[in-house]
Amino acid sequence: MTRTHFISVVIPVKNNPVGIRRVLRSLKVARKRSPVPVEFVVVDDGSTDHTADMARQEGARVVRTPGYGYRVGSQVFDVGKVRNTGLRAAKGDVIASIDADCKVGPDYFRRIVAVMEHHDLVALDLRPLETSDGQIVYKRFFDALLELTTGGASEPSLIFRRSVICPSNNCFTDQGHAEILGVTNGHEHRMVKDPHNPVYTDFGGWRETVGWALWTAVLAAFGGGIVWLAIREPK
């Protein structure tokens, strides 16, 4: 059994003051029930609005990057170097990664502490913020792709113990886009899924769903063929 002493939550963001306020307020509610200290590290990727000020008002420590990522709708892409900057700045022995279009439940930290007593790498379940048809369809595409490529893990849902995954803190560089999944390669046998501590995220509506599907098809075609995903009804 391994004890958790301090949790860092790393949140990359760009021009999204509404999202950063929402996720930080949900994290602050969860922190009231946390048995260990918690810090929020917001990585502001060159925002041109009051996103950084909003994060500070909500109690986060803000780290700045010069604009590595780019936005399409509510999504930030090419965010690897952005997130990695926050991972290097994080002080916790346990690190959680989440995005600015997410929110967590009130037992988020209490559940993390309990599960991390016995595990070093945990993937949480991503669920839609809303129950619209567009978000449900998007989630099915998303889940199917994750199962094919990463075994069901995604950066906004991963929690890991630094001493096991990256003890020297030099894994997360700004020279590439590996992020957590790249660094955890070779540690897949350690990863467990916790379906009882979901992260709620904005999977978008029909327009984003169609755009995501077309972009995936283009990438698959360039890779040598289109991957057909079977979308099943949720259990």
Quick one: tokens of 146?
């994750």
CB 101 within 8 A of CB 202: yes
The pTM assigned to this predicted structure is: 0.76
Helix (H) or strand (E) holding 64: strand 61-65
8 Å CB contact between 112 and 159 = yes
Q: What is the pLDDT along the chain (235 residues), one digit of tens a residue?
A: 788 999 999 999 999 999 999 999 999 999 999 999 999 999 999 999 999 999 999 999 999 998 887 655 555 556 778 888 898 899 999 999 998 988 999 999 999 999 999 998 888 877 777 655 555 555 555 555 555 544 444 555 789 898 887 776 666 666 544 455 555 555 655 678 888 898 888 755 555 555 555 555 555 555 444 333 333 333 3
Amino acid, single-letter form, for residue 161: R
How far is Cα 87 from Cα 171, in angstroms, rounded to an integer? 9
**Closest CA relative to residue 9, chosen from 82, 63, 60:** 60
What's the rounded Cα separation, in Å, for the pair 83 and 11?
A: 7
* CATH architecture assignment, domain 7-222: Alpha-Beta Complex (3.90)
- What is the helix (H) or strand (E) element at residue 19, kind and residue range? helix 17-31
Where are the chain's structural domains?
A: 7-222
Burial, 93: exposed, middle or buried (Cβ in 10 Å; 0-12, 13-18, 19+)? middle
> Is residue 10 a contact partner of residue 86, using CB atoms and an 8 Å limit?
yes
